[in-house]
């Protein structure tokens, strides 16, 4: 039987077990389970759910774009997007590496619980921010960040809340549990 681990990856942690000389913290500092590997990845400056497994086929199914596995993100962006910006994201936008699939997007209140981030997101009195929930079914490099920037609302904080059927639940940053 395959093992599936759900991990709340903190900001600044690499989605791999070795740092290859980068000096950044890795999964090895949080998870001491032999034979499991991340199914997909989260950038160092993103946080939230990372699914790990010892099943190569499951890992491929989760990570491969052809599987169209839905991934839900909570996205803090600069300013409050209007309906036109949200609709552009819902239709899909054209980035340098091609058009994105349509995203499901809605404005949300700040997620709860929202754990502090180290370092904290920059705060600017003159520029409000807001939260979106985005569901995408592909995983181009830094896709959510590039999509929000494309419609004029740069991402300030990005938290993956769900991958397919798995969700963060009550996991705090740095905690993991078996699925």
Give the tokens for residue 124.
Answer: 């600017």
**CB 176, CB 31: distance < 8 Å:** yes
* 59 Cβ neighbours under 8 A, 6+ residues apart: 37, 38, 39, 53
Cα dist. 29→11, 76, 144 in Å? 14, 27, 27
Calpha distance 179→30 (Å, rounded): 16
Q: Same CATH fold, 70-163 and 4-64+167-178?
A: yes
- pLDDT by residue, tens only, the chain of 179 residues: 899 999 999 999 999 999 888 899 999 999 999 999 999 889 999 999 999 999 999 998 888 777 888 999 999 999 999 999 999 999 999 999 999 999 999 999 999 888 988 888 877 777 899 999 999 999 888 999 999 999 999 999 999 999 999 999 999 999 999 99
| Residue range 70-163 in CATH 3.40.50.150 | no
User: Which residues are identified as catalytic?
Assistant: 43
Looking at residue 20, its pLDDT comes to: 82
Cα dist. 39→36, 64, 107, 110, 177 in Å? 9, 9, 28, 27, 15
* 123 Cβ neighbours under 8 A, 6+ residues apart: none
Residue ranges per domain, the chain?
4-64+167-178, 70-163
| Residue range 4-64+167-178 in CATH 3.30.9.30 | no
Output the furthest CA–CA distance in the chain (Å, rounded): 54
């Amino acid at each position: 039987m395959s093992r599936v681990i759900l991990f709340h990856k903190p900001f600044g942690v690499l989605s791999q077990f070795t740092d290859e000389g980068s000096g950044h913290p890795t999964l090895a500092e949080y998870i001491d389970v032999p034979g499991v590997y991340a199914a997909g990845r989260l950038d160092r400056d993103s946080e939230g759910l990372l699914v790990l497994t010892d099943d190569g086929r499951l890992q491929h199914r989760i990570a491969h774009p052809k599987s169209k596995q839905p991934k839900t993100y909570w996205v803090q962006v600069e300013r409050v997007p209007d309906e036109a910006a949200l609709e552009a994201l819902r239709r899909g936008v054209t980035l340098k590496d091609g058009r994105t699939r349509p995203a499901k997007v809605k404005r949300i209140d700040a997620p709860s619980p929202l754990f502090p981030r180290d370092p904290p997101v920059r705060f600017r009195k003159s520029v409000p921010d807001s939260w979106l929930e985005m569901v995408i079914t592909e995983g181009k490099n830094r896709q959510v960040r590039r999509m929000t920037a494309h419609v004029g609302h740069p991402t300030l904080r990005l938290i993956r809340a769900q991958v397919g059927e798995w969700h963060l639940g009550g996991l705090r940053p740095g905690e993991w549990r078996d699925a």
